[in-house]
Amino acid sequence: MADVGLQNGIPYILALEEKPSKELLSRLKDKWGSWCSYAVFYIWCLLY
């Protein structure tokens, strides 16, 4: 959850004005379940 790429990518996807809270990141992690690593990889790819 401390990954800068993830913190920069989530606002891009969710159209947020600021970086996500740890609570939001935790909820997303729970929602994605075992696909969490794949989700983070694709979020990183969006940034480049």
Tokens of residue 28, six digits: 């997303």
CA angle (39 as vertex; 32, 16 as ends), nearest 5: 90
Task: Count how many Cα atoms sit within 13 Å of the Cα of residue 10 in the half-sphere of its side chain.
Answer: 20
Residue type, 5: G
Interval 1-18: pLDDT, tens: 888 999 999 999 999 999
Average pLDDT in the chain: 93
DSSP state, residue 47: T
Instruction: Give the separation between CA 46 and CA 33, rounded to whole angstroms.
Output: 20
What is the distance, to the nearest Å, from the Cα of residue 26 to the centroid of all Cα atoms in its chain? 10
pLDDT for residue 48: 85
